[in-house]
Every structure is written in C-alpha cells, then in structure tokens.
Amino acid sequence: MSSSSRIDETLREEIISRPDIILDDRDLMQALIASNERAMGGNIVDLRGIAMERLEARLDRLEDTHRSVIAAAYENLAGTNQIHRAVLRMLDPIEFEPFLRDLAGDVAAILRVDVMRLVLESTQSDRDSAVRRVGEVLSAAEPGFIEDYITEGRNIPLRQVTLRQLAGGDARIYGDRAAWIRSEACLKLDFGPGRLPGLLAMGSEDPHLFTPQQGTDLLGFFAGVFERTMRRYLS
C-alpha cells in the first residue's frame, strides 16, 4: 500500500484507542457503510446495511416519541403547578365579594385566561339582587340555562368540563368582552342537594387555549375545589 493511501498515524492510533468516537457518530458510520456498498458493486445486496437502515429509522421514531413524551410530561407538570397556585389564591379570601373579585383578577391571571365569569341559576328575585350586589363577575340565569348553554341545545351527555373553540363568546356570559373570545372552558358546578347548579366560564382570546382534544383532569380538580368553596359561602 502506498504511503498516500495510509491514514495519518496519529489519527489511526486515536481511532484504535477510542473506536466509540466513530461508532457514536451517525454521519461517519453512514459514510463508511456507503463506501463499503460502492466497493461491493451494484450486483450485491447488503442485507446487513438494509437492516441497519431499518434500525436507524426505528431509532429515529423512538427518539421522536421520547421527546414528545418528555414535552407532554413537562407541560402536564406546568399545568398542575398552575392549577395548584390558582387554587391556593382562590382559598385566600374569607368573604364572598373579595373571593369573586380575586376570581376575575389574580386567579384569572394565574390561569392565563382573559375573562372569568360565574353564573348561578336562581329565581327572578334572587337574580336581581345578585346582579346588583356583585356586578359583572357574577350573573344569574333561569333554571335550565346552564345545561342548554353547555350542550348548545343538543341531546348530548352533560360533562363537568367542556372545552371548545368559538367564533365569538356569548354576551350573556362575557358581556362586552364576548366579541373577542375565541375559546372557552365551561365548568359545571354542583353545590349539593336542593341547590341549583352553577357555571364557571373561562374565556380566552387565544383560539388554542381550550380545545376539545385537551385533557380535563386538572380543570375537573379545580371545579371540585371551587364547588366546595362556594358551598361554604352558600351555607
């Protein structure tokens, strides 16, 4: 073999002492395999090379899945921490009116929603007094309104948490902010036997904040805490 075809002695010794530097480099391995295939000619099928290509494709898919799982885990952890912080802030007030003000203020900011509204079903006299006393955070509606609103009048099961995208919000819920709402979370509230239900509506200008494909476990937990807090004020 001529001297021009020999590899540099220092590089050769480095490769012999640390072969993993080549084995761990995918581009180098592919270059070596391609060179070997050219040397064998076009009439020979390298089954080992084909198997390696398939293994590499499977590895790429596994790595993509691994990254997706890690990203989902981090997102779920961030969502859990967000709900926990919102719950702790919601439990701070002792009186009802500060509780509602915080709901539309700090709690909404923690959850990164643009509007939060509480709707209670009640009789006409209770509705009028509630609207006067609390203002825009709390509104009242006739019995049956919440189920009709969540199901949009369709004969479908009524779930505790409903997520959906909107062309625009309902002015009965969001008032003058309705035109800007592009997605919402509807949390149906159960205040116990003998009491009419409630609705906690979270509206966002981001059409992707709430979508039907998302999980609802964390918001279901938040709704459960909210129900129990409201029972304390309603008792």
Per-residue pLDDT band for 124 (boundaries 50, 70, 90) equals: low
Residue 60 covered by a domain = no
Residue 64 covered by a domain = no
Q: Does pLDDT of 89 surpass 50?
A: yes
Domain range spanning residue 29? 3-44
| Cβ neighbours of 186 (radius 10 Å) | 24
- Nearest in space to 226 (alpha carbons), one of 113, 116, 112, 77: 116
**Complete DSSP assignment for 74-96:** HHHHHHHHHHHHHHHHHTS-SSH
Residue 207 covered by a domain = yes
* pLDDT the model gives residue 135: 65
Question: In terms of domains, do 103 and 164 share one?
Answer: yes
User: How many distinct structural domains can be found in the chain?
Assistant: 2
Residue 98 covered by a domain = yes
Of the listed ranges 24-28, 54-58, 78-82, 183-187, the least confidently predicted one is 24-28
- Nearest in space to 147 (alpha carbons), one of 183, 119, 115: 119
**Complete DSSP assignment for 173-228:** HHGGGGGG--EEEEEEE---TTS--EEEEEEES-TTSS-TTS--HHHHHHHHHHHH
Computed over every residue of the chain, the mean pLDDT equals: 82
> Stretch 17-45: mean pLDDT, rounded?
68
